[in-house]
Chains A and B, each alone.
Chain A
């Protein structure tokens, strides 16, 4: 199993998948790799796939929240997808929040939400 972040462009969004137990260096790479890729590809948002993640500590959570805030500043929206029940329970008990993110059950649900998002934007123009 790879310990690295995977960054893929899927349709109009960036799909970023985090490894199971990333060390601090990998977590901080999330920010730069995501923002670089956002700039490089013309995408509407970011799906952060946490389905493999086994632990979300305060450092990881803060980095996710900050990344989401930066994505918002760049005009995109962040979806957190696939958080495991054990991780959701533990993160809540720890007291972490994920800031300006939408959470969805899995990557499919996030992909479904993105076209609606772009249609809504077009309709509003």
Chain B
């Protein structure tokens, strides 16, 4: 796989969350991530994909492979045009949920990945970008 591979998965129905997981598993494996690292990335993708479906009802997961010198990695970007996150600090509090979930999606995904960035604005949607670098 070259360093500019990329793609996208639409998240519109519940089963698309599983479809996104399958794509992420394939990408992570092809980059050379091990079993546990792949499980971390796929789990983070599942949490973030479910957030898109639950809070915005639809959106897109964009994925691309990364290369920084000798280090390779993967970037996942979850974009939706939903209501946005009203209180980001609150959204990162363990156990806080406005959607009837366990409130571990965002903080959990952040722990599982190396980097996370969030852009959100009220009424315009949310973009969550996460990256994982392969340890050599």
Binding site for B on A (CB under 8 A): 21-25, 54-59, 61-62, 84-87, 89-91, 93-96
A-B contact pairs, 25 of them (CB 8 A): A21-B18, A23-B17, A24-B14, A24-B17, A24-B18, A25-B14, A25-B15, A54-B39, A55-B21, A55-B42, A57-B43, A57-B46, A58-B47, A58-B50, A58-B102, A59-B46, A59-B101, A61-B102, A62-B102, A90-B36, A90-B39, A90-B40, A93-B112, A94-B104, A96-B108
Cα A86 to Cα B107 with chains together (Å): 19
Among candidates B15, B25, B102, residue contacting A23 with C-beta atoms closer than 8 Å: B15
Cα A24 to Cα B17 with chains together (Å): 8
Binding site for A on B (CB under 8 A): 14-15, 17-18, 21-22, 25, 35-36, 38-40, 42-43, 46-47, 50, 94, 101-102, 104-105, 107-109, 111-112
Q: Which residues of B contact A91 (CB under 8 A)?
A: 43
B17 and A93 form a contact (CB under 8 A): no
Cα A42 to Cα B13 with chains together (Å): 38
Given A24-B17, A25-B14, A54-B42, A94–B36 Cβ distance below 8 Å?
A: no
